[in-house]
Amino acid sequence: MYDRNKLKDIPQNPGVYLMKNAAGDIIYVGKAINLRNRLRQYFQNSKNLTPKTVTLVSHICDIETIVVDSELEALILECNLIKEHRPKYNILLKDDKSYPYVKVTLEDEYPKVIMTREHKKDGGKYFGPFTSSFAVKKTIEAIGKLYPLRRCNRKVAFGEKNGRPCLNYYIGQCCAPCQGNVPKEEYMAYISDILSILNGKDKELVLTLEEKMSEAAQKMDYELAAKLRDQIYGIQHIVEKQKIIVSNQQDQDIIAFAKDEDLACVQVFNVRDGKMLGRDHTFLEGVEESTPEDIMTTFVKQYYSSKPFIPREIILGAPLLKDEEDTIAQWLAELRGAKVVLTRPQKGQKSKMTRMVEENAELTLKQYELEKRQKEEKKKSRLDAFKDLLRMDHTPEKIEAYDISNISGTDNVGGMVVFQGGKPDKKAYRRFKIKSVDGQNDYASMQEMIFRRIERGIKEQNEGKDPEKSSFLPFPDVFCIDGGKTHVDAVRSILQMYPNVHIEVCGMVKDDHHRIRGIIYKDEEYPLKKSTPLCTFLSDISEEVHRYALGYHQTLRKKGMLESRLEEIPGIGKKRRELLMRHYGSLNNLKKTTLEELKTLPGMSDKTAQAVFDYFNDDEHKTKSEEKRENK
């Protein structure tokens, strides 16, 4: 519990405060104009606090403060700290997306049109951000069919030939500047047209092209007229899906939200140059006791702290907190480099638009909750079916699966995968290099892996380790072993050594096609009906643990094969190979070393050091060595 006497030592400056629990974890980040006055409000009579705040205060053991010069600096720092630490009691954005842009690489002599998710100050022209990467790809694809721009990364210049042209040149979708036959002025005319389209000035471009088409038709140059006609159709196709929703051609974001208990869905409609370019939705967690002003203020701060583009006007469906509205407007203006207008319309067209965005947020939230319920029901049905099939006393919430992988007993490894609540918990996956078993003995290998897993769990248990931060705790409800009755018996013999560890053991039995056909449990095989939720679930577990164990085996085998290549070098045997790998750690590090360093290694003669150095630096020798291995 936090010592309230420390509050008198808190400065009265603007700044940010970080509240920490007994473990030292940051559980809340906030800002204040006067840090001492703000923090005192948390420790007043609990009747004046919300239940969430009361819970927060009960967990505070320490408070760290960071003093800044202004409220604006405090707001920026607060946004950055929340994004970095994601504290438990702050309202948090549920997802953190990066959005696609259309980029025209004007920094290049012969620019390209590409999709990117990074907005840099590199001289390129960026359009967006857009919420649909599919729409961006389709737009770039349409532009590529309309204008024959280069797509490769070759260095190109007029009058300089660079290799052969690619397939795009032969199908008419690249003018092949790599052949040095495209003047920059001609190429930049294409770029000028593309910039006009992306800037929304397509009408002027279409009128110009229509005039040229008419002139070509009058001169009976029907081939050029047809080409211009196709170009006009292509431009119209690119822009036809952009819906005009405002007449003043401004850049705007329209924000509204819907809330249900502890979750809120915030919907953002992006209007660029008066055109509806896309919409986006984000979920906020921990809003059960939050006011509409809290939700909107939190969202605006977190959303725009990571956005490279700030529109001229932001239309809000709910007000911001009164004491933060001016600071946020100032902060957004600094990010944009120009004034940003924050409005909350009560009537008229803008009010209608906010209601439309709010309705979309409600629909999205309902759909999300419906899908969430369906997933929960599906998960529950699979786990309940597992429980019913094996007649267990309780539903198995945590399941661990094990498999062994080797080739004729070499590079013998095991894999452990974890399913928590019916879903894979990849952070809890573990790998085992089998140490006590020589040759191929899957039963003994499985016993070693289970023994080491239980011993690690008991050790952490005796150390009083928190299960949430433990690698091997809590123990699972079920061990699923890839194998039949003999594998299960081998594992049960290990568990008999630990009377205080209660874990059920079952074996996943495969058919001749390596597909799961049943479960061995308590010496009885339970067949599985194909295409049932339980069969699909157990098949997923079986395939996942097999994939994980096999992947580890292949990694070690590949590493061993690479290391064994060293013995091709004259003077390098097993001991010197082990010396080199122990000293350098990998072949890549060994390749980068110098001859002088190799000569200083213990047990390495000058002649052998020279042979190792030549092996990695003599291209002719490397080629002969590779040919020799291929012939083998």
Domain membership of residue 442 (yes or no) is yes
Domain membership of residue 532 (yes or no) is yes
Domain membership of residue 328 (yes or no) is yes
Co-location of 450 and 581 in the same domain: no
Domain membership of residue 356 (yes or no) is yes
Count of domains in the chain?
Answer: 5
Q: Can you say how many angstroms the Cα of residue 592 is from the centroid of all Cα atoms in its chain?
A: 33
Q: What is the pLDDT of residue 243?
A: 41
H/E element, 16: strand 15-20
Co-location of 107 and 78 in the same domain: no
- Of the residues 212, 242, 272, the one at which a domain ends: 242
Q: Which residues of the chain have pLDDT under 70?
A: 93-99, 128-132, 134-135, 200-202, 234-249, 273-278, 408-410, 557-565, 567, 587, 618-632
Return the CATH number at 317.
3.30.420
- Of the residues 68, 90, 112, the one at which a domain ends: 90
The answer to whether the CB of 326 falls within 8 A of the CB of 72 is no
Q: How far apart are CA 195 and CA 111, in angstroms?
A: 11
Q: What is the pLDDT of residue 27?
A: 92
Please tell me the total number of residues recorded for the chain in this structure.
632
The answer to whether the CB of 577 falls within 8 A of the CB of 566 is yes
The answer to whether the CB of 526 falls within 8 A of the CB of 534 is no
Residue 102: name the closest of 62, 137, 70 by CA: 137
Q: What is the pLDDT of residue 241?
A: 44
Per-residue burial over 192-211, b if 16 or more Cβ lie within 10 Å, else e, is ebbbbbbebebeebbeebee
Tokens (6 digits) for 405: 């992988």
Q: How far apart are CA 422 and CA 376, in angstroms?
A: 9
Return the CATH number at 22.
3.40.1440.10
DSSP string, 442-467: HHHHHHHHHHHHHHHHHHHHHTT--G
Q: What is the pLDDT of residue 84?
A: 76
619 exposed, middle or buried (CB, 10 Å; 0-12, 13-18, 19+)?
exposed
pLDDT tens-digit series, residues 227-248:
788 777 766 666 554 444 444 5
Co-location of 530 and 485 in the same domain: yes
Strands of 344-429 (E only): list them. 398-407, 410-420, 423-424
Domain extent for 8: 4-90
Hunting for tokens 């211009």 — which residue is that? 228
Co-location of 192 and 146 in the same domain: yes
Co-location of 238 and 300 in the same domain: no
How does strand 313-316 pair with strand 341-343?
parallel
Co-location of 413 and 527 in the same domain: yes
3-state secondary structure at position 525: strand
pLDDT tens-digit series, residues 204-220:
777 878 888 898 888 88
Co-location of 553 and 613 in the same domain: no
Co-location of 157 and 258 in the same domain: no
